[in-house]
């Protein structure tokens, strides 16, 4: 099966299963888009909407070349919205096992990216490059155990937004969830937003950061997330603005290398408040606490907080509001065991 090539200014695809796609031949790239390859030039803008589709077992592999094992998007004028889709067991060599975004804008809503046990040669489930705009909202990313470079999301781009997602490790201490790197060209300004996400890792030492943010210059907002058994590394220059606020950080070292200015406030660092290292100047630190966040059922995968939690809006320091990604879900920690299906339902 060959990939679907879109040459229309607008296209909607609903309810299809894409399985066994082998990609489209694109000059200078070889193969791209195991299931769908979308390209557009400045004079021919294109919009695509993909809804309720399954992408499974597609590949863009040609020697050491191939981009976007399931979906490849290229062109400043491309606008893609992907909603309620599942990506599983797709492969690429050099650029995004599931999705490759090169220029353009792509928004993924309520999608699931499953990277467990798949032979993803790149190790990057989603990769975005150049002046692309990538937004993931209310998506689930399941960390894998066979990723060569360990990245679930790898970006070198101007704007990336992760809003309300679940990034769940599957027992691999060294797997990296997110690598949001600098874009080293003249006059580049980047914006990175991580808001209301849940990052759940595995206990154990790791020399690979789970969340790495390193823009050359721009704005970094890390707000209202829940990090458990993870690792966060942020490195930005003095011309950037950093806001690290209202996060739950449990058993998660945080290293921030930053120039003058910025805010680190209303965070709950537990159990060791010294696990946060800020190597910079004049970062405002206020209303941070170090107390057990009282998750409803950490052993069963329920990371909502109890009504008695110090992270609940009524108990948090004045002016902070709710701390962490998930609201109140119990009045005491439940003791019953939950199935994986029920755990996922809690995050919907």
- DSSP tally for the chain: helices H, then strands E: 1, 37
**Vertex 303, ends 212 and 257: CA angle to 5°?**
20
Reading the block at residue 93, the tokens are 């060599």
Nearest to 97 by CA among 48, 157, 34: 34
Percent of the chain residues topping a pLDDT of 70: 75
Domains of the chain, by residue range, sit at: 4-291
More confident residue, 95 or 254: 254
Q: What is the mean pLDDT of residues 304-328?
A: 96
pLDDT of residue 104: 83
Identify the burial level of 223 via C-beta atoms within 10 angstroms of its C-beta, where 0-12 means exposed, 13-18 middle and 19 or more buried. Answer: middle
pLDDT at 133: 87
Q: From CA 226, how far away is CA 223, in angstroms rounded?
A: 9
Q: Which residue is listed with tokens 């679930």?
A: 152
- For residue 198, give Cα distances in angstroms to 85, 120, 140: 20, 24, 10
Q: How large a percentage of the chain has pLDDT more than 90?
A: 37
Tokens of 157: 């781009």
**Lowest-confidence region among 126-130, 188-192, 293-297:** 188-192
Q: What is the DSSP letter of 298?
A: G
- Is 173 a residue whose pLDDT tops 60? no
What pLDDT digit, counting tens, does each position of 107-164 carry? 999 999 987 665 555 557 888 877 678 999 999 988 655 444 456 777 777 788 999 9
Q: What pLDDT does 15 receive?
A: 97
Residue 307: Cβ-neighbour burial (10 angstroms; 0-12, 13-18, 19+): middle
Q: Is the pLDDT of residue 166 over 60?
A: yes
Q: What pLDDT, on a 0 to 100 scale, did the predictor assign at position 43?
A: 62
Q: CA 199 to CA 253: how far, in whole Å?
A: 13
pLDDT tens profile 331-341:
864 555 555 55
Which of 225-229, 236-240, 252-256, 301-305 has the weakest average pLDDT? 236-240
Considering the entire predicted model, what is its pTM?
Answer: 0.86
Q: Tell me whether the omega of the peptide bond preceding residue 7 falls within 30 degrees of 0, making it cis.
A: no
pLDDT tens-digit map of 2-53:
445 545 567 899 999 999 998 877 766 677 888 998 877 666 677 889 999 9
Residue 344: what are its φ and ψ, rounded to 5°?
A: -60, -35
Report pLDDT for 326: 95
Residues 6+ apart with CB under 8 A from 348: none
The DSSP H or E segment spanning 3 is none
Q: If you average pLDDT over every residue of the chain, what do you get?
A: 81
Give the distance from CA 195 to its chain's centroid.
10
R_g of the chain, CA atoms, integer Å = 20
Query: Is 258 within 8 Å of 234 (Cβ atoms)?
Result: yes
Residue 87: in which H helix or E strand, if any? strand 86-88
């Amino acid at each position: 099966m060959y990939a679907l090539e879109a040459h229309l200014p607008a296209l909607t695809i609903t309810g299809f299963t894409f399985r066994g796609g082998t990609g489209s031949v694109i000059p200078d790239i070889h193969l791209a888009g195991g299931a769908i390859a979308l390209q557009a030039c400045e004079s021919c803008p294109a919009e695509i909407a993909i809804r309720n589709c399954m992408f499974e077992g597609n590949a863009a592999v040609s020697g050491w070349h191939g981009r976007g094992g399931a979906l490849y998007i290229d062109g400043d004028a491309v606008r893609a919205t992907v909603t309620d889709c599942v990506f599983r067991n797709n492969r690429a060599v050099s650029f995004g096992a599931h999705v490759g975004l090169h220029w353009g804008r792509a928004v993924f809503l309520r999608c699931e990216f499953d990277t467990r046990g798949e032979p993803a040669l790149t190790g990057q489930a989603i990769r975005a490059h150049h002046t692309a705009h990538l937004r993931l909202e209310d998506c689930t990313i399941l960390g894998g155990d066979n990723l060569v470079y360990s990245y679930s999301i790898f970006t070198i781009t101007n704007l990336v937004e992760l809003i309300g997602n679940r990034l769940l490790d599957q027992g691999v201490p060294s797997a990296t969830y997110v690598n949001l790197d600098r874009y080293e060209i003249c006059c580049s300004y980047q914006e990175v937003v991580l808001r209301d996400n849940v990052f759940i890792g595995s206990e154990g030492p790791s020399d690979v950061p789970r969340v790495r943010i390193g823009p050359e210059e721009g704005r970094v907002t890390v707000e209202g997330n829940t990090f458990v058994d993870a690792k966060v590394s942020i490195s930005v220059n003095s011309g950037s603005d950093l806001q690290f606020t209202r996060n739950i950080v449990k058993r998660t070292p945080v290293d921030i290398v930053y120039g003058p200015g910025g805010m680190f406030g209303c965070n709950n660092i537990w159990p060791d408040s010294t696990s946060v290292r800020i190597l910079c100047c004049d970062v405002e630190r206020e209303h941070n606490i170090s107390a057990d966040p009282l998750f409803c059922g950490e052993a069963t995968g329920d990371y909502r907080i109890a009504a008695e939690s110090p992270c609940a809006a009524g108990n948090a320091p004045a002016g902070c509001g709710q701390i962490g990604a998930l609201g109140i879900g119990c009045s005491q920690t439940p003791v019953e065991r939950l199935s994986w299906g029920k755990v996922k339902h809690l995050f919907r």
